[in-house]
Amino acid sequence: VAHTAERSRAVDIRIAGVTKNFAGSAALHDVNLEVRPGELLALLGPSGSGKTTLLRIIAGLAEADRGQVFFGGVDATSLPVQKRQVGFVFQHYALFKHMSVADNIAYGLQVRERANRPSKAEIRRRTLELLDLVQLPGYESRFPAQLSGGQRQRVALARALAVEPRVLLLDEPFGALDAKVRKDLRAWLRDIHERTGKTTVFVTHDQDEALELADRVAVLNRGHLEQVGSPDDVQDHPATPFAMTFLGQAARFNADIRDGRVLVNGKPTPVVAPKATIGQASLYCRPWHLKPVLAGHGHHQGIISGVRRLGSMRRIEVLQADGTKLEVEAPLVTNLSVGEEIGLDILDGVIFREG
Ligand code: ATP
Protein backbone atom coordinates (compact mmCIF):
# COMPACT_ATOMS: atom_id res chain seq x y z
CA VAL A 1 0.00 0.00 0.00
CA ALA A 2 1.39 3.37 -1.01
CA HIS A 3 2.38 5.96 1.54
CA THR A 4 -0.49 8.35 1.07
CA ALA A 5 1.58 11.38 2.04
CA GLU A 6 4.25 10.52 -0.52
CA ARG A 7 1.67 9.95 -3.20
CA SER A 8 -0.05 13.26 -2.55
CA ARG A 9 3.32 14.97 -3.04
CA ALA A 10 3.94 13.30 -6.39
CA VAL A 11 4.32 15.78 -9.23
CA ASP A 12 3.41 15.49 -12.87
CA ILE A 13 5.91 16.05 -15.68
CA ARG A 14 4.81 17.85 -18.80
CA ILE A 15 6.93 17.88 -21.93
CA ALA A 16 5.74 20.51 -24.37
CA GLY A 17 6.93 20.70 -27.96
CA VAL A 18 10.40 19.37 -27.29
CA THR A 19 12.66 19.24 -30.34
CA LYS A 20 16.34 18.32 -30.36
CA ASN A 21 18.71 18.17 -33.31
CA PHE A 22 22.18 16.71 -33.48
CA ALA A 23 24.23 17.98 -36.41
CA GLY A 24 21.12 18.77 -38.41
CA SER A 25 19.24 15.52 -37.85
CA ALA A 26 16.29 15.43 -35.47
CA ALA A 27 16.73 13.18 -32.43
CA LEU A 28 13.38 14.43 -31.08
CA HIS A 29 10.66 16.02 -33.12
CA ASP A 30 8.01 18.14 -31.36
CA VAL A 31 7.41 15.71 -28.51
CA ASN A 32 4.41 16.39 -26.27
CA LEU A 33 3.94 14.09 -23.30
CA GLU A 34 2.42 14.18 -19.85
CA VAL A 35 3.57 11.89 -17.08
CA ARG A 36 0.86 11.80 -14.42
CA PRO A 37 1.63 12.27 -10.73
CA GLY A 38 2.78 8.98 -9.22
CA GLU A 39 2.69 7.19 -12.54
CA LEU A 40 5.29 4.77 -13.87
CA LEU A 41 5.65 5.58 -17.55
CA ALA A 42 7.79 3.50 -19.89
CA LEU A 43 9.51 5.24 -22.79
CA LEU A 44 9.72 2.46 -25.34
CA GLY A 45 11.44 2.51 -28.69
CA PRO A 46 14.18 0.90 -30.76
CA SER A 47 17.81 1.91 -30.55
CA GLY A 48 18.32 5.49 -31.67
CA SER A 49 14.66 6.50 -31.32
CA GLY A 50 15.50 9.30 -28.88
CA LYS A 51 14.62 7.73 -25.51
CA THR A 52 17.85 8.66 -23.74
CA THR A 53 17.87 12.12 -25.26
CA LEU A 54 14.36 12.75 -23.93
CA LEU A 55 15.27 11.42 -20.49
CA ARG A 56 18.36 13.62 -20.36
CA ILE A 57 16.27 16.66 -21.28
CA ILE A 58 13.83 15.83 -18.46
CA ALA A 59 16.75 15.45 -16.07
CA GLY A 60 18.40 18.70 -17.15
CA LEU A 61 21.50 16.87 -18.42
CA ALA A 62 20.78 18.05 -21.96
CA GLU A 63 19.07 21.09 -23.37
CA ALA A 64 16.22 21.03 -25.87
CA ASP A 65 16.50 23.21 -28.96
CA ARG A 66 12.83 24.06 -28.58
CA GLY A 67 10.10 23.28 -26.10
CA GLN A 68 9.65 23.18 -22.35
CA VAL A 69 9.64 20.81 -19.41
CA PHE A 70 7.32 21.39 -16.45
CA PHE A 71 7.43 19.70 -13.05
CA GLY A 72 4.21 20.05 -11.08
CA GLY A 73 3.08 22.79 -13.45
CA VAL A 74 6.23 24.88 -12.90
CA ASP A 75 8.51 25.58 -15.84
CA ALA A 76 11.80 23.76 -15.14
CA THR A 77 13.26 24.23 -18.63
CA SER A 78 16.11 26.46 -17.51
CA LEU A 79 16.70 24.83 -14.11
CA PRO A 80 20.10 23.13 -13.83
CA VAL A 81 20.16 19.43 -13.00
CA GLN A 82 21.03 19.97 -9.30
CA LYS A 83 17.94 22.14 -8.84
CA ARG A 84 15.48 19.77 -10.52
CA GLN A 85 15.34 17.27 -7.65
CA VAL A 86 15.49 14.26 -9.95
CA GLY A 87 16.95 10.89 -9.10
CA PHE A 88 18.40 8.79 -11.88
CA VAL A 89 19.73 5.33 -12.51
CA PHE A 90 21.50 4.33 -15.70
CA GLN A 91 22.29 0.98 -17.27
CA HIS A 92 25.90 0.98 -16.16
CA TYR A 93 25.51 2.98 -13.04
CA ALA A 94 28.95 3.55 -11.67
CA LEU A 95 28.69 3.16 -7.93
CA PHE A 96 31.75 4.56 -6.23
CA LYS A 97 33.99 1.50 -6.07
CA HIS A 98 35.99 2.66 -3.07
CA MET A 99 32.89 3.43 -0.99
CA SER A 100 30.74 1.03 1.00
CA VAL A 101 27.11 0.45 0.05
CA ALA A 102 26.03 2.74 2.90
CA ASP A 103 28.35 5.54 1.79
CA ASN A 104 27.20 5.19 -1.79
CA ILE A 105 23.57 5.53 -0.75
CA ALA A 106 24.29 8.44 1.58
CA TYR A 107 26.48 10.27 -0.93
CA GLY A 108 23.82 12.68 -2.22
CA LEU A 109 22.99 13.71 1.34
CA GLN A 110 26.63 13.95 2.48
CA VAL A 111 27.56 16.42 -0.27
CA ARG A 112 24.76 18.82 0.60
CA GLU A 113 25.60 22.22 2.05
CA ARG A 114 25.67 22.08 5.81
CA ALA A 115 22.36 23.93 6.21
CA ASN A 116 20.50 21.28 4.18
CA ARG A 117 22.43 18.26 5.35
CA PRO A 118 20.64 15.90 7.70
CA SER A 119 22.46 14.87 10.89
CA LYS A 120 24.78 11.85 10.84
CA ALA A 121 22.21 9.83 12.77
CA GLU A 122 19.45 10.85 10.39
CA ILE A 123 21.55 9.91 7.33
CA ARG A 124 22.30 6.54 8.93
CA ARG A 125 18.62 5.97 9.70
CA ARG A 126 17.58 6.83 6.15
CA THR A 127 20.30 4.67 4.62
CA LEU A 128 19.20 1.61 6.57
CA GLU A 129 15.57 2.29 5.73
CA LEU A 130 16.45 2.43 2.02
CA LEU A 131 18.44 -0.78 2.26
CA ASP A 132 15.31 -2.41 3.66
CA LEU A 133 13.22 -0.94 0.87
CA VAL A 134 15.50 -2.33 -1.85
CA GLN A 135 15.67 -5.63 0.03
CA LEU A 136 19.35 -5.53 0.91
CA PRO A 137 19.25 -5.31 4.69
CA GLY A 138 22.64 -6.05 6.26
CA TYR A 139 24.58 -5.08 3.11
CA GLU A 140 25.66 -1.63 4.32
CA SER A 141 29.35 -2.46 4.81
CA ARG A 142 29.86 -4.32 1.54
CA PHE A 143 31.68 -2.80 -1.40
CA PRO A 144 30.30 -2.72 -4.96
CA ALA A 145 32.73 -5.44 -6.08
CA GLN A 146 31.10 -7.79 -3.55
CA LEU A 147 27.65 -7.40 -5.10
CA SER A 148 25.93 -9.04 -8.07
CA GLY A 149 24.85 -6.87 -11.00
CA GLY A 150 21.25 -6.92 -9.83
CA GLN A 151 22.26 -5.95 -6.30
CA ARG A 152 24.33 -3.06 -7.64
CA GLN A 153 21.34 -1.72 -9.52
CA ARG A 154 19.28 -1.99 -6.35
CA VAL A 155 21.90 0.03 -4.49
CA ALA A 156 21.89 2.53 -7.36
CA LEU A 157 18.13 2.89 -6.95
CA ALA A 158 18.47 3.35 -3.19
CA ARG A 159 21.06 6.03 -3.88
CA ALA A 160 18.71 7.80 -6.31
CA LEU A 161 15.90 7.68 -3.76
CA ALA A 162 18.05 8.88 -0.86
CA VAL A 163 17.82 12.53 -1.84
CA GLU A 164 14.01 12.27 -1.94
CA PRO A 165 13.74 13.29 -5.58
CA ARG A 166 10.49 14.62 -6.98
CA VAL A 167 10.81 12.31 -9.97
CA LEU A 168 12.74 9.18 -10.73
CA LEU A 169 14.37 8.68 -14.14
CA LEU A 170 15.60 5.21 -15.05
CA ASP A 171 17.53 4.56 -18.27
CA GLU A 172 17.59 0.83 -19.03
CA PRO A 173 18.56 0.17 -15.41
CA PHE A 174 18.43 -3.59 -15.93
CA GLY A 175 19.80 -3.55 -19.46
CA ALA A 176 23.11 -5.17 -18.62
CA LEU A 177 21.63 -8.00 -16.54
CA ASP A 178 20.65 -11.49 -17.63
CA ALA A 179 17.05 -12.31 -18.50
CA LYS A 180 16.12 -14.08 -15.28
CA VAL A 181 17.49 -11.28 -13.06
CA ARG A 182 15.80 -8.68 -15.23
CA LYS A 183 12.48 -10.37 -14.78
CA ASP A 184 12.88 -10.57 -11.00
CA LEU A 185 13.88 -6.92 -10.84
CA ARG A 186 10.80 -5.88 -12.81
CA ALA A 187 8.45 -7.25 -10.16
CA TRP A 188 10.67 -5.76 -7.50
CA LEU A 189 10.69 -2.29 -9.12
CA ARG A 190 6.93 -2.41 -9.54
CA ASP A 191 6.63 -3.13 -5.83
CA ILE A 192 8.99 -0.29 -4.85
CA HIS A 193 7.06 2.02 -7.11
CA GLU A 194 3.78 1.15 -5.43
CA ARG A 195 5.36 1.82 -2.06
CA THR A 196 7.05 5.12 -2.86
CA GLY A 197 4.49 6.49 -5.31
CA LYS A 198 7.19 8.47 -7.14
CA THR A 199 6.51 9.77 -10.61
CA THR A 200 8.84 7.59 -12.67
CA VAL A 201 10.02 7.53 -16.27
CA PHE A 202 11.58 4.24 -17.30
CA VAL A 203 13.49 3.93 -20.60
CA THR A 204 13.57 0.53 -22.29
CA HIS A 205 13.78 -1.02 -25.74
CA ASP A 206 12.25 -4.22 -24.37
CA GLN A 207 8.52 -4.49 -25.12
CA ASP A 208 7.84 -7.13 -22.45
CA GLU A 209 9.54 -5.03 -19.82
CA ALA A 210 7.52 -1.94 -20.75
CA LEU A 211 4.22 -3.80 -20.94
CA GLU A 212 4.72 -5.65 -17.68
CA LEU A 213 6.04 -2.76 -15.64
CA ALA A 214 4.38 0.44 -16.75
CA ASP A 215 1.09 2.13 -15.98
CA ARG A 216 1.37 3.68 -19.42
CA VAL A 217 3.72 3.18 -22.33
CA ALA A 218 4.99 5.96 -24.63
CA VAL A 219 6.15 4.59 -27.99
CA LEU A 220 8.97 6.53 -29.66
CA ASN A 221 10.05 6.01 -33.25
CA ARG A 222 12.77 8.11 -34.86
CA GLY A 223 12.17 11.01 -32.53
CA HIS A 224 8.40 10.97 -32.95
CA LEU A 225 6.02 9.99 -30.20
CA GLU A 226 3.74 7.51 -31.96
CA GLN A 227 1.39 6.59 -29.15
CA VAL A 228 0.86 6.89 -25.41
CA GLY A 229 -1.47 4.49 -23.66
CA SER A 230 -1.97 1.73 -21.14
CA PRO A 231 -0.27 -1.59 -21.91
CA ASP A 232 -3.63 -3.00 -23.04
CA ASP A 233 -4.29 0.05 -25.14
CA VAL A 234 -1.04 0.04 -27.06
CA GLN A 235 -1.20 -3.71 -27.62
CA ASP A 236 -4.82 -4.02 -28.66
CA HIS A 237 -5.27 -0.63 -30.30
CA PRO A 238 -1.91 0.34 -31.77
CA ALA A 239 -2.13 3.79 -33.33
CA THR A 240 0.34 3.17 -36.15
CA PRO A 241 1.80 0.24 -38.10
CA PHE A 242 5.07 0.92 -36.28
CA ALA A 243 3.42 0.56 -32.86
CA MET A 244 1.69 -2.61 -34.08
CA THR A 245 4.88 -4.28 -35.27
CA PHE A 246 7.16 -2.99 -32.54
CA LEU A 247 4.90 -4.08 -29.68
CA GLY A 248 4.84 -7.69 -30.73
CA GLN A 249 4.70 -10.18 -33.55
CA ALA A 250 2.46 -8.99 -36.36
CA ALA A 251 1.83 -10.36 -39.83
CA ARG A 252 0.79 -7.96 -42.57
CA PHE A 253 -1.75 -8.82 -45.26
CA ASN A 254 -3.04 -6.86 -48.21
CA ALA A 255 -6.71 -6.29 -47.54
CA ASP A 256 -9.51 -5.09 -49.72
CA ILE A 257 -12.32 -3.23 -48.01
CA ARG A 258 -15.68 -3.38 -49.73
CA ASP A 259 -19.19 -2.75 -48.38
CA GLY A 260 -17.84 -2.58 -44.84
CA ARG A 261 -16.17 -5.99 -45.16
CA VAL A 262 -12.48 -6.78 -45.01
CA LEU A 263 -11.37 -9.27 -47.66
CA VAL A 264 -8.05 -11.06 -47.88
CA ASN A 265 -7.26 -12.95 -51.07
CA GLY A 266 -10.87 -12.37 -52.07
CA LYS A 267 -12.33 -14.05 -48.99
CA PRO A 268 -14.27 -12.14 -46.35
CA THR A 269 -12.80 -12.02 -42.83
CA PRO A 270 -14.61 -11.23 -39.56
CA VAL A 271 -12.39 -8.15 -39.10
CA VAL A 272 -14.39 -4.97 -38.58
CA ALA A 273 -13.59 -2.31 -41.17
CA PRO A 274 -13.07 1.25 -39.93
CA LYS A 275 -15.96 3.50 -40.94
CA ALA A 276 -15.87 4.98 -44.42
CA THR A 277 -12.82 2.98 -45.47
CA ILE A 278 -12.85 1.47 -48.91
CA GLY A 279 -10.23 0.06 -51.23
CA GLN A 280 -6.77 -1.21 -50.41
CA ALA A 281 -5.48 -1.30 -46.85
CA SER A 282 -3.06 -3.23 -44.67
CA LEU A 283 -4.35 -5.76 -42.19
CA TYR A 284 -2.00 -6.59 -39.31
CA CYS A 285 -2.59 -9.77 -37.33
CA ARG A 286 -1.14 -10.90 -34.01
CA PRO A 287 -0.31 -14.63 -33.72
CA TRP A 288 -3.60 -15.19 -31.87
CA HIS A 289 -5.57 -13.48 -34.64
CA LEU A 290 -4.69 -16.40 -36.91
CA LYS A 291 -5.87 -19.99 -36.75
CA PRO A 292 -4.21 -22.95 -38.43
CA VAL A 293 -6.54 -24.86 -40.76
CA LEU A 294 -6.08 -27.54 -43.40
CA ALA A 295 -3.85 -26.69 -46.35
CA GLY A 296 -5.91 -25.18 -49.13
CA HIS A 297 -8.43 -23.72 -46.70
CA GLY A 298 -8.53 -20.34 -44.96
CA HIS A 299 -7.40 -16.91 -46.17
CA HIS A 300 -3.73 -17.58 -46.60
CA GLN A 301 -1.32 -20.45 -47.27
CA GLY A 302 2.18 -21.26 -46.14
CA ILE A 303 4.63 -23.92 -45.05
CA ILE A 304 5.44 -24.65 -41.43
CA SER A 305 9.05 -23.69 -40.79
CA GLY A 306 9.09 -23.97 -37.00
CA VAL A 307 7.07 -25.18 -34.04
CA ARG A 308 7.91 -24.24 -30.46
CA ARG A 309 6.25 -24.05 -27.13
CA LEU A 310 5.37 -20.70 -25.61
CA GLY A 311 3.97 -21.18 -22.12
CA SER A 312 0.65 -23.00 -22.45
CA MET A 313 0.45 -22.52 -26.24
CA ARG A 314 2.32 -23.50 -29.38
CA ARG A 315 3.91 -20.94 -31.65
CA ILE A 316 4.00 -21.96 -35.24
CA GLU A 317 6.31 -20.21 -37.65
CA VAL A 318 4.99 -20.12 -41.19
CA LEU A 319 7.02 -19.43 -44.30
CA GLN A 320 5.02 -17.47 -46.87
CA ALA A 321 5.28 -17.54 -50.65
CA ASP A 322 7.19 -14.23 -50.64
CA GLY A 323 9.91 -15.74 -48.43
CA THR A 324 8.93 -13.89 -45.25
CA LYS A 325 7.74 -15.59 -42.08
CA LEU A 326 4.82 -15.03 -39.75
CA GLU A 327 3.76 -16.50 -36.43
CA VAL A 328 0.54 -18.23 -35.45
CA GLU A 329 -0.65 -19.29 -32.04
CA ALA A 330 -2.21 -22.70 -31.61
CA PRO A 331 -3.29 -24.91 -28.71
CA LEU A 332 -0.62 -27.11 -27.21
CA VAL A 333 -2.30 -30.28 -28.46
CA THR A 334 -2.02 -29.19 -32.09
CA ASN A 335 -0.10 -31.76 -34.03
CA LEU A 336 1.84 -29.96 -36.74
CA SER A 337 5.29 -30.55 -38.04
CA VAL A 338 7.90 -28.61 -39.92
CA GLY A 339 7.66 -28.89 -43.69
CA GLU A 340 3.86 -29.40 -43.78
CA GLU A 341 1.64 -27.11 -45.79
CA ILE A 342 -0.85 -25.16 -43.75
CA GLY A 343 -3.83 -22.88 -44.26
CA LEU A 344 -4.52 -19.85 -42.07
CA ASP A 345 -7.86 -18.43 -41.05
CA ILE A 346 -7.91 -14.75 -40.16
CA LEU A 347 -10.03 -14.26 -37.05
CA ASP A 348 -9.19 -10.68 -36.15
CA GLY A 349 -6.69 -7.90 -36.84
CA VAL A 350 -6.07 -4.18 -37.10
CA ILE A 351 -6.56 -2.18 -40.29
CA PHE A 352 -4.25 0.65 -41.35
CA ARG A 353 -4.41 2.81 -44.43
CA GLU A 354 -0.84 3.11 -45.56
CA GLY A 355 0.37 5.72 -47.99
P1 ATP B 1 19.50 3.46 -27.40
O2 ATP B 1 18.37 2.55 -27.03
O3 ATP B 1 20.41 2.85 -28.42
O4 ATP B 1 20.21 4.05 -26.22
P5 ATP B 1 17.93 5.88 -27.73
O6 ATP B 1 16.53 5.64 -28.14
O7 ATP B 1 18.17 6.18 -26.30
O8 ATP B 1 18.84 4.68 -28.22
P9 ATP B 1 19.26 8.36 -28.23
O10 ATP B 1 20.48 7.98 -27.51
O11 ATP B 1 18.35 9.33 -27.57
O12 ATP B 1 18.42 7.07 -28.63
O13 ATP B 1 19.69 8.92 -29.65
C14 ATP B 1 18.77 9.46 -30.57
C15 ATP B 1 19.50 9.92 -31.83
O16 ATP B 1 20.34 11.02 -31.55
C17 ATP B 1 20.41 8.85 -32.42
O18 ATP B 1 20.33 8.92 -33.81
C19 ATP B 1 21.79 9.24 -31.93
O20 ATP B 1 22.78 8.84 -32.83
C21 ATP B 1 21.70 10.75 -31.85
N22 ATP B 1 22.52 11.29 -30.76
C23 ATP B 1 22.34 11.10 -29.44
N24 ATP B 1 23.25 11.77 -28.72
C25 ATP B 1 24.05 12.42 -29.61
C26 ATP B 1 25.18 13.29 -29.50
N27 ATP B 1 25.66 13.64 -28.31
N28 ATP B 1 25.73 13.74 -30.65
C29 ATP B 1 25.23 13.41 -31.84
N30 ATP B 1 24.17 12.61 -32.03
C31 ATP B 1 23.59 12.11 -30.93
Give the confidence band of 169 by pLDDT, cuts at 50, 70, 90: very high
Q: Which amino acid, one-letter code, is at 88?
A: F
Collapsing DSSP states into helix, strand and coil, what is residue 86? strand
Q: How far is the CA of 306 from the CAs of 120, 138, 199, in angstroms?
A: 62, 49, 43
Q: Is residue 196 lining ligand 1, measured as CB closer than 6 Å? A: no
182 lines ligand 1 (CB under 6 A): no
b/e burial code for range 286-308 (CB count within 10 A of at least 16 → b): bbebbbbeeeeebbbbbbbeebe
Q: Whose CA is nearest to atom 17 of ligand 1?
A: 48
pLDDT tens per residue across span 42-69: 999 999 999 999 999 999 999 999 999 9
ipTM of the complex: 0.95
Parent domain of 314: 251-352
- CA of 53 from ligand 1 middle (Å) equals 6
Strands 216-221 and 40-44: parallel
Do 348 and 277 belong together in one domain?
A: yes
257: domain CATH number is 2.40.50.140
Give the CA angle between residues 210, 53, 11 to the nearest 5°.
Answer: 65
50 lines ligand 1 (CB under 6 A): yes
Last residue of a domain, one of 199, 228, 246: 246
pLDDT at 157 over 70: yes
Task: For ligand 1, say whether the CB of 24 is within 6 Å of any of its atoms.
Answer: no
Looking at 226, 246, 266, which one is the last position of a domain? 246
Query: Which pLDDT value is given to residue 2?
Result: 47
Q: Are residues 332 and 235 in the same domain?
A: no
DSSP class per residue in 150-176:
HHHHHHHHHHHHHT--SEEEEESTTTT
Pair 141, 219 in one domain = yes
Residue nearest ligand 1's atom 1 by CA: 47
For residues 147 and 284, membership in a common domain is answered with no
Domain termination residue (choose one: 215, 246, 277): 246
Q: What is the best residue among 43, 44, 53 to mutate for testing ligand 1's pocket, by most ligand atoms within 8 Å of CB?
A: 53
C-beta 53 within 6 A of ligand 1: yes
What is the average pLDDT score of the chain?
Answer: 91
**pLDDT score for 7:** 58
Atom of ligand 1 nearest to the CA of 205: 2
Strand order in the sheet with 66-71: 25-35, 13-22, 66-71, 74-75
Cα(13) to centroid of ligand 1, in Å?
Answer: 22
What integer is the mean pLDDT of 280-291?
95
Ligand 1 center to 222 CA (angstroms): 10
pLDDT by residue (tens digit) across 205-221? Answer: 999 999 999 999 999 99
Residue 84: is its pLDDT beyond 80? yes
Name the residue with higher pLDDT: 286 or 4. Answer: 286
Please check the confidence at residue 1 and state whether its pLDDT lies above 60: no
Same domain for 227 and 292, yes or no, is no
Q: Is the pLDDT of residue 34 over 80?
A: yes
- Same domain? For 264 and 229 the reply is no
Q: From the alpha carbon of 20, which atom of ligand 1 is closest? A: 16
**Based on the domain organization, do 187 and 137 belong to the same domain?**
yes
Domain tally for the chain?
2
Which domain CATH number covers 31?
Answer: 3.40.50.300
Closest residue (by CA) to atom 9 of ligand 1?
50
Question: From the alpha carbon of 50, which atom of ligand 1 is closest?
Answer: 11
Question: What spacing in Å lies between the alpha carbon of 52 and ligand 1's midpoint?
Answer: 7
Q: Are residues 196 and 255 in the same domain?
A: no
Question: DSSP letters along 207-259, please?
Answer: HHHHHHH-SEEEEEETTEEEEEE-HHHHHHS-SSHHHHHHTS--EEEEEEEET
What residue type is assigned to position 231 of the chain? P
Domain co-membership, 262 together with 185: no
